[in-house]
Amino acid sequence: MDLKNEIWKDIPGCEGYYQASNLGRIRAVERMVKTKPKGKWYMRKLPFTIRAQGTNQTGYKMVGLCINGIESQHRVHRLVASAFIPNPENKSDINHKNGNKNDNSVENLEWMTRGENHRHAYLTGLKRRPKGKRILNEKKVLEIKLLLSRKNIKNSEISRLFSVSGTCISNIKSNKRWGYVAVN
């Protein structure tokens, strides 16, 4: 970690309290805080401090942040991405490009849709497809999407044609499943 090239930015929603670095670290901002030890209120200076990071059950780095007496836990990669990486398409997921959940540097993070993130996990071998016979593939889903674009065919007819459930067809239609397969 090259700390001399570390850049700090305010975390959106935590301005004046916490910052994220391009190297994946989180720190509390130097500020005055009101405290009441021994029953008397007074102001004291809180210095810049690097926040300790733990790991949750799924392997993501977590950090606790406290604003106005309310403490909450946050995934570090989400804080870093929100501070440094623009998200004009309002994508929901953040992908670790190299698959390492401990590498929260800006260069290793990117915004993705849920479908794009799952596809990346499958293509890189980070996630395995469920065991059993898979009925659909990208080619069949493309055919389904072409049929869905027609007005004269019902979802139930498409589900019978491809031997899948109506829910499966609805999920394809709404891009909840196979959203990355696009009809040109």
Is residue 94 very low, low, confident or very high in pLDDT (cuts 50, 70, 90)? Answer: very high
Cα–Cα distance measured from residue 39 to residue 11, given in angstroms and rounded to the nearest whole number: 33
Overall average pLDDT of the 81-93 stretch: 97
pLDDT in tens, 29-60: 988 777 777 777 767 677 778 888 889 998 99
| pLDDT for 79 beyond 70 | yes
| pLDDT for 133 beyond 70 | no
| Nearest residue to 71 (alpha-carbon basis) of 14, 12, 10 | 14
| Nearest residue to 117 (alpha-carbon basis) of 172, 180, 60, 171 | 180
Cα–Cα distance measured from residue 111 to residue 127, given in angstroms and rounded to the nearest whole number: 18
Cα–Cα distance measured from residue 148 to residue 169, given in angstroms and rounded to the nearest whole number: 9
pLDDT of the residue at 1:
67
Instruction: Tell me the average pLDDT of the chain.
Output: 88
| pLDDT for 132 beyond 60 | no
Q: Is 120 helix (H, G, I), strand (E, B) or coil?
A: helix
CB within 8 Å of 149: residues ≥ 6 apart: 183
pLDDT in tens, 147-175: 988 878 888 888 888 888 888 999 998 88
More confident residue, 149 or 25: 25
| Nearest residue to 79 (alpha-carbon basis) of 113, 51, 47 | 51
